[in-house]
Structure 1
Amino acid sequence: MCKLDNLPVRLFRGQDSRDLVEDGKDKPVYCTCRGIDNGSYMIACDVCEKWLHGSCVGDTEEEGEEIDLYTCPACRACLV
């Protein structure tokens, strides 16, 4: 079965696929920028389930609400 079949839209913050900041403060980091959740809009890739800051991937919350299946730039490159 294809990983893209019947995946849910994820337009909320979550704790999936997070790493911890290496400075010992145990803050989760997200996105390709390896930044923390700063309260800004974030979107999860429906393929790899990693969370990305909307500003890092050029997506706004309004645009995200219109997306049925979000694929991050890294996964999009693999699907080509």
Structure 2
Amino acid sequence: MNQRLDFHPTLASALKKQPGAAAAFREWAIDLGVEWHEARRIATAHNSTMALGPEVFPEKIGAALARVKPVLDRHRDRYG
């Protein structure tokens, strides 16, 4: 089972085409990591479940955000 957490590959087309959408998504993801910091297991699409150690979920969210940074940057450049 894959232990990597990723956002959906169609994120670019899912973001609203309006100013602030990329920033709002980023903030939502960060808030999710903070609020779920004690999560010990999550269910992921196409990957079953993922067991997590203490405080690992925020790290996984941060790594996933880093991988979609180019998508968010392009959206911000185009729409604000």
TM-score range, shorter chain: under 0.3
Relative to total residues, which structure has the larger helix share, 1 or 2?
A: 2
Q: Could you state the TM-score of these two structures normalised by the residue count of structure 2?
A: 0.27
Q: Could you state the TM-score of these two structures normalised by the residue count of structure 1?
A: 0.27
Higher relative contact order (CA 8 A, sep 6+): 2
